[in-house]
Structure formats: C-alpha cells, structure tokens
Amino acid sequence: MWDIRGWNRLTVNNNPPLVAARREFLSWLAEVAEPVQTIWGGRLQSKLDHPHLSVRLELFLHHYFKHNDWSVEIEPEIPGSPNRPDFRVMHSTDMLLVEAKAILDELSITQETTRLTQVADDLSGKLSRYAIIEPLSDLPPSLPARRIKAQIEQHAQTQASATLEFDLSDVHKGKRYSLRVVLLPESPDTTELRGVGGMMSGVHTLTTGKRIRDALEEKAGKYGSMDVPFVIAIYGVGHFPVLPSDELDALCGDKVWNEQSRSQFVERRQPNGFFNSVREGRHRHEGVSAVASYRFKLLEHTHVHLLHIYHNPFAVRPLNPDLFPTVPQMAMDSAGSLKWINGEPESW
C-alpha cells in the first residue's frame, strides 16, 4: 500500500506495520534539535496532507544523512540569497545543498485548497508578483487576507528577478497557522496575470510528469549560481506511487515514437524535460546536480523507505555517485548513455 496519508492513518489502529512506522517517524523526529523538532512535530501530526507528507520527506532525509555519517544543517543561510535550502550536508570534504518537495495528487490538493480558496480570491489580481501558497499547518476557519497580502508584498518588493520562498506564521482568532509562500520572478510581460496560483491552478488536467516538472521548476532557480552540488529531493504522493517512467518524462522529456517503417518505431524524447530543455543555447537547469526520489510503502508485515537518484548529465557541478554507494542511481556512462548503477528502483 502506497497511499498512507496523514498522521491519522498512522494512528487509526494497532496494525503492527502502522505502529512500527509511527514509532520510526517519531524516533527520527527525536534526532532533530529544537526548535525545529517542535515545529516539525506539529507538521507531522497535522490533519492536512501537505504539512504531514512534506515533513515526512524531511525527516527521512535528515535521518538518512545522519545515519550515514553526514553532518546536517537545517535551513542554513546562503551568502547572497534571501532563501534558505532545507539542508546543507557535509561528508568529509564533500558538501551538498538539498531541497525537499512533496508533490501532491488531486485528492490532496482538493483537501489542502478548501480553506485557501477565499484568501486566493481575496489576493488574486492584487499582488505585484505571482505566488504559490501551501499550508504548513492545520488552518483556522478563516484567514486574514489583508494581513497576509501585506506580508507577501513586503517580500515581493525585494529581488524582483529571483524566486523567493518563505514561511508565514501568525495567529488568527486564537489559532496559530503557518503558510509557505513561493514568489515567482517578476515577468517583463505586463499582460501576465498576477495573483495566487500553483495549488489553485488547473492541476486536474496535468500529467504526473508535468506535475513533477513544475515542482522542480519551483525549486530550481532559488539560489542562482552556487559553488557546491545542489540536489532536489521529491516525494510523489498518490493512490499509487510516482513511477520511474513518470520521473523520466519529467526529467528527460515526454516520450514520442517516430515511425521508421511500417514495422519499426524509434523512441525519442521531446526537448521539454527538466534536464534537457534549453534556453539561449544553454541547458536551463544545469545548476541542479541531481534529483532524488523518495517512496514509502507499507507491506503486509513491515514498511520500507525507498530512495533512488537521477544525475543531471548537463550539471555544471555533478554529484559524485560514490557518495551514495547503496542507492540506485541513473547516471551517464562513458558512452554517453544514461544507465542505472547500484541496481534499479523497486517496481512493486
């Protein structure tokens, strides 16, 4: 079973695999220092999908690096950037920046946007930049749209050409709430709509590959040029897992078949993937070294955490595959072809 949503699903009964999974996530939470531990604990036990599932990914990454003898900094400051990555990790002389992103399906998005619809309506057309809003906590029945607008605009006036991501935490009618806001760069096209989007847009018509690609785009441009490898870790959530085929469509371009003859077809990829798309003669996301994919699966008597990595063949700062000796990784071989090393992702 892949569809293990929310804390309630992990606590609803005494099914041994669920009890073990709950105990493990709590043990990972205990490894996190305060004050982050308290913040993450609230998100872990949220009734909403996004805060619970996104912090589950962050807990896995924090534990994975700690368990494998990496030193871990949570949300470190980055010189020259107003944004903070989720992690800066170091092993010997190797340093990485890591961003985490949960990719929700339509069911989760519908749940998450119910209480955001009003604030989206109040803000749309009034913001100077296009914003994506995601809840990081359970929300009160109403939200103070005017106050949120002022807080967003305060950030929007800085670094108009950069993607900005920040959290807003406040109290409304006696209930604390937290929101994550992503401000996209200001467009030179003055006719472009401005307001609130992302989770409020036409998500029901998007393919899984397009949802992955959009999520990666959101994270890719946050830090500009960096002198260390940059990894984006994703967690695709749904009734069934995000498959490697979906990830390949997102990263390497949508698959098309060209007919060579009546009985022969050749598989090709469109140049619209996160890795292979080009702008002004350069690959658009050469600053992203790799994309890591996390999956959680509940089995009959236990549960498993799965991780695999896709290396960007066009990265300016490639990720060293030897840093993840037991993790399945897709990397370019000496002949220029993408191949799996250390096995392939589990198909079940």
Cβ-contact 44, 28 below 8 angstroms = no
pLDDT at residue number 203: 33
pLDDT at residue number 139: 77
Q: What is the pLDDT along the chain (348 residues), one digit of tens a residue?
A: 555 667 766 776 677 888 888 899 999 999 999 999 999 999 998 887 788 889 999 999 999 999 999 999 999 998 888 889 999 999 999 999 999 998 876 666 666 666 677 777 777 667 778 888 877 777 777 788 888 888 888 888 877 777 888 888 888 888 888 888 888 877 555 444 444 544 433 333 357 788 888 889 888 878 777 889 999 999 987 656 688 888 988 998 877 655 555 555 556 778 888 999 888 888 889 999 999 999 988 787 888 899 999 999 999 999 999 999 999 999 987 777 889 999 998 766
Can you name the residues that pair with 282 across neighbouring β-strands?
279
pLDDT at residue number 115: 67
The 3-state secondary structure of the chain reads CCCCCHHHHHHCCCCHHHHHHHHHHHHHHHCCCCCHHHHHHHHHCCCCHHHHHHHHHHHHHHHHHHHCCCEEEECCCCCCCCCCCCEEEEECCEEEEEEEEEECCHHHHHHHHCCHHHHHHHHCCCCCCCEEEEECCCCCCCCCHHHHHHHHHHHHCCCCCCCEEEEEEEEECCEEEEEEEEECCCCCCCCCCCCEEHHHCCHHHCCHHHHHHHHHHHHHCCCCCCCCCEEEEEEECCCCCCCHHHHHHHHHCCEEEEEEECCEEEEEECCCCCCCCEECCEECCCCCCEEEEEEEEECCCCEEEEEEEEECCCCCCCCCHHHCCCCCEEEECCCCCEEEECCCCCCC
User: Distance between CA atoms of 166 and 8, rounded to whole angstroms?
Assistant: 27
CB burial class (10 A; 0-12, 13-18, 19+) of residue 286? Answer: middle
